[in-house]
Amino acid sequence: MKVALVTGAGSGIGRAAALALHAAGYAVALAGRRAEALEETAALAADGAERLLCAPADVSDPASVEALFAAVDARFGRLDVLFNNAGSGAPPVPLEDLSLEAWRRVVDVNLTGAFLCTQAAFRLMKDQDPRGGRIINNGSISAHSPRPRSAAYTATKHAITGLTKSTSLDGRAYDIACGQIDIGNAATPMTRAMSQGVPQADGRLAPEPVMDVSAVAEAVVFMAGLPLEANVQFMTVMATKMPFIGRG
């Protein structure tokens, strides 16, 4: 039985991906800051409760990350897949008005959190038998192109691309593969505003098409299921008609 760990598993993309991995036969550790949200995710699984672990954790806190991976190791004895999905955004204010506190919080969760979890995954994956595993980073469409007033979020997602490449390179020696999935307009509670209108580059507010989050979950399961000699380095999964390709 393969073991997956999903951060940010209490809602949205993380919840959908965790449930899809569980349905595909993985044992899944559900990580997130809110224990009650993780329990809600676990309750949505059709069966196989023995293959689920709810593990509250703050990925921006090194001690919390250490405890999280220790819990996974103690319960399942190995880790095959890490989905670095936990993320946070800052208020959509003009760049010059973004507080340092808000900037640091986004960096701590989106970038430092992914780094800390990647480090911890390396330590498990390089020493387990069979050796190796796979790390999937949630990059976002913002890893390619920003939305207005999203400096902190966009900067971290561009940085995730660098982390993905370095992880992929440094993991070769230990049979650890790393890839990135860039997601655009998946229908989750975070994207409800898109049906009403979101800021565009020209200053307008305009509604944007969305896609079912199950498409993202299926893509994560596909990436996770490849043999370790193969890797999806970068994948973009987006609502077909969203204003990303071309000039809007």
Residues recognised as catalytic = 153
If DSSP codes are grouped into helix, strand and coil, which group holds residue 181? Answer: strand
Q: Give me the DSSP letters along 4-61.
A: EEEETTTSHHHHHHHHHHHHTT-EEEEEES-HHHHHHHHHTSSS-GGGEEEEE--TT-
Among residues 231, 61, 213, 20, which one has the least CA distance to residue 134? 231
Containing H/E element for 137?
strand 133-138
- For residues 168 and 178, the answer to whether their CB atoms sit within 8 Å is yes
Task: Say how far apart CA 20 and CA 185 lie, in whole Å.
Answer: 19
Q: How far apart are CA 132 and CA 173, in angstroms?
A: 9
Cα distances (angstroms) measured from residue 160 to each of 15, 87, 142, 242: 21, 11, 10, 22
CA count, 13 A, side-chain hemisphere, 16 = 15
Q: According to DSSP H, which parts of 91-243 are helical?
A: 100-107, 113-125, 151-170, 214-225
Please state, in angstroms and rounded to a whole number, the distance separating the CA atoms of residues 136 and 234: 10
